[in-house]
Every structure is written in C-alpha cells, then in structure tokens.
Amino acid sequence: MKRALRTAIRRVLRIPFLSWAPYSGPRRAQRACEEAARGVGVPASDRAGVRGRAPVWLLFGLGVVLIACSSVQPVPIKHGATCYRCRRPIEDLKMAAEIIDQNHQVYTYRTAGCMAKYLTEHAEENPLAVFVTDSVSGKMLNATSALYVRATVDPRTSERDFVAFSNVQQAVAFARDNNGSAIDWAAVMAHTRSAKGD
C-alpha cells in the first residue's frame, strides 16, 4: 500500500527520490544494487547509508520558504519616522501607513490619507504592497482589507483623516460615534481623487 502511494506521488510530482525513501539497512543496499543494475538512478546519499527521508523534508522546507518569500510582510514603523509625502514626523503609530515598492523599498506615511494622496499624485507607480495600521490593535494590515472612517484625528488643528479598522463592528461603531460612515480602500482613493480635483 505504501509503495503504491509513493509511486502515485512520484508520478504526479515527478520527484524520483520519493520512491526510495523508506528502505533501510541491508534491504536498502540490496535495493540500491538492484536498481543500479537496471540503470535506475539512486542518489549517492542512499548508497552511503544516509536516511532517505532527508530529501523529502528538504523539499518541504524549501516549499515553506518559497511560500513565505512570495508574500510581502509589513515593516514595523518607528515613532518619529518621517512621512515620505509631507515630511512631517510620524507621531501616532496607530495612524501610520506604508508602501513597499517593486524593489522592496519601504516608504512610510503619517496617515492612510497622506498615503492615499501620494498614490493619487503618482498614479503611474505600481506598489508591491500597501499597508495601514489598525487603529485599535496597532497591527498593520493590507490596505484593501481594512475599513476606514473619516474623522478628526487632531483636535488641536481639527485635522481630519481616515482612521483604519480591521474589525467591521469597531469601524461601524466608530463611524456612528463620529457621524461618519465606514468605507473601503477603493472609496478612500476615490474620495482623495475627487478632493484633488476641487
């Protein structure tokens, strides 16, 4: 049964070394000699007595690494970092945002709104990833996964901007308390483009 399963996996994945994995001791040596006599290639590690399961784990580990590398992760923003667009310091990390470009260069912004303005002003750019900070947990998430409420973010200056939320209920509750509405990233960009045209 195990041999049939290995054969099926080998045919699907075209990984020849799976067929010799479970053999050990004298049986492995005998199997290696028989396959070598038939012209079937057997890895040197098998002939030398190294356990045959190592390449399977190596393949699994390689797959995990490739998956991890294929997804872009946000880079933590430091308090006091400079906003790439307005050049002001980032004082509230729960409002911060960032863009990672195709060269994996990170650009930080004071707020989601400031980042949206930059993207509107540079529509030709094609960022690899765009992240915002959840205003409740402080964790960064993909901008398209968040909901936003436009509200006053600085009572001293009456500055209004988009506050990001990863949780729908929290966004709706915040919107209700601030006489606003919860919108998605596409709506944030549309609002920013229309404000630019005014």
Q: What is the pLDDT of residues 55-86, one digit of tens each?
A: 554 445 445 434 444 589 999 999 999 999 99
pLDDT at 115 over 50: yes
Which of 6 and 192 is assigned the larger pLDDT? Answer: 192
User: What is the mean predicted confidence (pLDDT) over 132-137?
Assistant: 98
Mean pLDDT computed over 112-122: 97
Confidence band, pLDDT 50/70/90 cuts, at residue 155: confident
Domain spans of the chain, in order of start: 2-70, 93-197
Instruction: Report yes or no: 113 and 135 within 8 Å, Cβ to Cβ.
Output: no
pLDDT of 136 higher than 50: yes
Q: What is the pLDDT of residue 58?
A: 42
**Which among 45, 44, 47, 52 is positioned nearest to 33, based on CA atoms?**
47
Mean pLDDT within 142-152: 97
Predicted TM-score (pTM) of the model is 0.65
CA distances from 124 to 89, 113, 117, 120 (A): 26, 18, 13, 9
- Measure the CA dihedral 100/104/107/113, to 10°: -10
- Tokens 């590398």 correspond to what residue? 69
